[in-house]
Amino acid sequence: MTPSFAGGDDRPTEEQSRDTLFLMIGAGYETAVNLITSAVHALLTHRRFLALVHEGTLGWEDVIEETLRHEGPVMHLPLRYALEDIDLGEGVVVRRGEPILLAFGAAGRDPEVHLDRPDDFDPTRPAKDHLAFGHGPHFCLGAPLARLEAEVALSGFFGSYPDAVLAPEGPPPVRLRSAVVNGPAELWIVPAPVPA
């Protein structure tokens, strides 16, 4: 039986401590990086919203929640297995034991939830519901930390480089080649437009 971390005299074994550390680094690093780079890319390509942030009429939390909705850093999460038959309606039944690939990223673009331009990045939209941090008992443990990291990074970067632009001579941003993690593979940025 796997010892429990919670309560009693149970203590994590060395292996559990190492695995937990690995989980925190794995789950907490690449995800947060992609939230930040996706938000930077979105603001540099939608400058009117960056202007609203600089004016103080739009908050970083709006930018962060809209980025989580529009470009969730965890696109898919493999794999879950159905413990029992799950009837999704309209003739679709996931049979007991079948694998399930959760598409967290797709939920933020659900046209039945976001009736108004679900595919557009618009941090001024009033409702930014998403499942970027998952749902239920495995809801992301690091969600408050991730939001804080993004706010510190974005306010620090755009505070220091308010006129930053995508480097005109840089390659167009390509997406990460991953079915799980979602974001730009790299961003080429210069601190200000280069004079013509």
CB 68 within 8 A of CB 35: yes
Sign of the Cα pseudo-torsion (23, 146, 44, 161, in order): negative
* Cβ 87 to ligand HEM shortest distance, Å: 22
Q: Which is nearer to ligand HEM, 15 or 55 (CB)?
A: 15
* Cβ 141 to ligand HEM shortest distance, Å: 4
Q: What does residue 15 show for φ and ψ, rounded to 5 degrees? A: -65, -45
Three-class HEC string of the chain? CCCCCCCCCCCCCHHHHHHHHHHHHHHHHHHHHHHHHHHHHHHHHCHHHHHHHHHCCCCHHHHHHHHHHHCCCECCEEEEECCCCEEEECCEEECCCCEEEECHHHHCCCCCCCCCCCCCCCCCCCCCCCCCCCCHHHCCCCHHHHHHHHHHHHHHHHHHCCCCEECCCCCCCCECCCCCECCECCCCEECCCCCC
Q: Which is nearer to ligand HEM, 52 or 140 (CB)?
A: 140
* Cβ 91 to ligand HEM shortest distance, Å: 27
Q: Which is nearer to ligand HEM, 44 or 140 (CB)?
A: 140
* Cβ 28 to ligand HEM shortest distance, Å: 3
Q: Which is nearer to ligand HEM, 146 or 164 (CB)?
A: 146
Q: Which is nearer to ligand HEM, 5 or 116 (CB)?
A: 5
What does the block give as tokens for 46? Answer: 């939608």
Point out which residues bind ligand HEM (CB under 6 A): 23-24, 27-28, 31-32, 35, 73-74, 77, 104, 132-134, 138, 140-142, 145-146
Q: Which is nearer to ligand HEM, 33 or 190 (CB)?
A: 33
* Cβ 17 to ligand HEM shortest distance, Å: 14
* Cβ 112 to ligand HEM shortest distance, Å: 21
Question: Of all residues in this chain, which one has the CB nearest to ligand HEM in the complex?
Answer: 142
